[in-house]
Amino acid sequence: MTWQPQSLPADHPSVASGRVGVLIVNLGTPAAPTTSAVRRYLAEFLSDRRVVEIPAIIWQPILRGIILNVRPKKSAHAYSQVWTEDGSPLAAITMRQAEALAERLAGEGVVVDWAMRYGEPSIPRQLQAMMDKGCERIVLAPLYPQYSGATTATVMDKAADALRAMRWQASLRVMPPYHDEPLHIAALAEDIGAQLDALDFEPEVLLLSFHGMPKRTLELGDPYHCHCMKTARLLGDALRASGMRPAMRLRTTFQSRFGPAKWLEPATDTVIAEEAANGTRRLAIAAPGFSADCLETLEELAIRGREQFVDECGGEHFAALSCLNDKPVGIDMLEALIRRELAGWI
């Protein structure tokens, strides 16, 4: 007997189904480079218990009473220095990454979109939008090469919160961290190598600067530090294997210290000062922990790093290299990693 599709009763709600989606996610960013927008963004970000692991009863008065009254103005000024016609660099680049991946996966009918963990477009909004388009299966891809509780895990927390409120949940797969993924290391080595080749000076040292974390997170078992160190080691090996600049030294550092607690060391600004004091005059910095350029790379490294090394410490040549962003070499790598997660679904 052949199965006959039944016609739907007139009062049946319309249902979209049968599609596959990919949602790439990055940290989040303010909606505008203004004090009020930065305050809103920081209030959400710094209230996440995975980001600041101090009991709320102690932390919230400090956050609301001091930090949100002081930091937003300073941070808004920093954001205003890197803001683009398309908005925050982090949001603009993440959107272009999604567009590039959508083109690559269009042939398979995959819906690709992007979200920010803090601010807009939010993870719940984007998951719902994908489900409204009929995505029953969604690959969630946090664009953090190195895992940390403060970044990767919070993406899952937020997605789970969104699913908790849904009657009909999508099936989720989560792309794992890719800190030691050979395709990622090869993409970084190719891109960094090309950027170094294009410089008009030979760096004596290349700093590999990762976003910092409180040192306590390492002691509590967060793998972030180990992931960063492994990326740095494999990237160093790959750069050396390509026969590149045997005399150039590589050093791994941690930037963006926040608050009074001890953070992972050595700090990027400390190492910049130390290198200059020891006679280094030509320095380059890459940021292999960031999949997209953002405040931390464009303002902290490219602007303040240069001011520190050249204007304050007597350095002569300085370059802050760009992240993989939406360059074809980076999109090739992300496409391959995402296709792996899509196996059996497309």
Ligand X SMILES: C=CC1=C(C)c2cc3[nH]c(cc4nc(cc5[nH]c(cc1n2)c(C)c5CCC(=O)O)C(CCC(=O)O)=C4C)c(C)c3C=C
Q: List residues binding ligand X (CB under 6 A).
A: 27, 29, 42, 51-52, 71, 75, 88, 90, 144, 148, 150-151, 211, 213-214, 256, 258, 289-290, 294-296
Closest CA to 341 of 97, 112, 160, 161: 112
Q: And the tokens for 101?
A: 């991946």
Q: Which residues on adjacent β-strands are paired with residue 135?
A: 19
User: Which positions ≥6 away from 62 have C-beta within 8 Å?
Assistant: 54
| Peptide bond connecting 55 to the previous residue in cis, omega within 30 degrees of 0 | no
Q: Can you tell me which of 40, 158, 179, 225 binds Fe ion, judged by CB under 5 A?
A: 225
Question: In this complex, which beta carbon is closest to ligand X, that of residue 81 or of residue 242?
Answer: 81
Tokens of 91: 């949001």
As measured in angstroms, the least distance from the Cβ of 206 to ligand X is: 19
211 labeled binding residue:
yes
Residue 323 near residue 282, CB atoms below 8 Å: no
Position 117 contacts Fe ion (CB under 5 A): no
Is 296 annotated in some ligand binding site?
yes
Q: Which is nearer to ligand X, 201 or 258 (CB)?
A: 258
CA 214 vs. chain centroid, Å, equals 18
148 binds, among Fe ion, ligand X, none (CB under 5 to 8 A by kind): ligand X
Nearer to ligand X, 31 or 329 (CB): 31
Stretch that binds Fe ion, among 4-12, 130-138, 225-233, 282-290 (CB under 5 A): 225-233
Interaction of residue 32 with Fe ion, rule CB under 5 A? no
- Judged by CB, which is closer to Fe ion: 31, or 129? 31
Whole-number Cα distances in Å, 254 to 16, 299, 306, 325, 333: 46, 15, 16, 20, 25
Give all strands of the β-sheet with 317-320 in edge-to-edge order.
249-255, 205-211, 282-286, 317-320
In the bound state, the residue with its beta carbon closest to Fe ion is 226
Q: Which of 32, 129, 163, 226 binds Fe ion (CB under 5 A)?
A: 226
The smaller minimum CB distance to ligand X, of residues 126 and 297, is found at 297
Q: Which residues pair with 187 in a beta bridge?
A: none
Nearest CA to 286 out of 148, 187, 149 is that of 187
- Residue 229: CB minimum distance to Fe ion, A: 5
Binding site for Fe ion (CB under 5 A): 225-226
